[in-house]
Amino acid sequence: MTENQKKMFLSSNLKLIRTEAEMIQERFAEMLKTSRDNISNYEIGRALPPVDFLVRVSEHFQISIDDLINTDLQNVSEGIRKNNYNIRVNKRSYISKVEMLQKENLLLQRHLDDNNKMYNTLKEMYEDLKKNL
């Protein structure tokens, strides 16, 4: 396989992974700690990503660096792509879990505030009782 083929596979595979995950370049860049311009350059083959970027892609999307560079994922059947590479992100599930955690956090904060108020009230009552005895 030639270097040009590897570069072409890597470019198209990065774009495929991003689009399969239903992400815009800005979000993809943010998640992988780079700039949107870098993502654009990697996807069109204008620049090669650094190794640490490939490691982050590999870890996040559970795909080997070897497959990123040497495999044309466009030609891999859709079923294998979904099962082996975990590319598609279940956004609704993720968003609902985040919203649920935010609501739970708000409830816990309210309980904490209520408990602090109750503690302060009881403390004041105790101090008043001590003075009156």
DSSP 1: -
CA distance 5 to 19: 21
Contact call for residues 61 and 86 (beta carbons, < 8 A):
yes
Tell whether 113 and 56 lie within a shared domain: no
User: Is 18:28 a contact under the CB 8 Å cutoff?
Assistant: yes
Distance between CA atoms of residues 17 and 65, nearest Å: 13
Are 76 and 108 contained in the same domain?
A: no
Q: Tens-digit pLDDT profile for the chain (133 aa)?
A: 788 888 899 999 999 999 988 899 999 999 999 999 999 999 999 999 999 999 999 998 888 999 999 988 887 756 555 655 554 455 656 777 888 889 999 999 999 999 999 999 999 999 988 888 7
Domains: count for the chain: 2
The model scores a pTM over 0.75: no
Q: Are residues 66 and 123 in the same domain?
A: no
CA distance 10 to 30: 19
* Residue closest to 32 by CA, chosen among 47, 46, 14, 13: 14
Measured distance CA(65)–CA(7) in Å, rounded: 13
Range of the domain at 131: 90-133
pLDDT attached to residue 38: 97
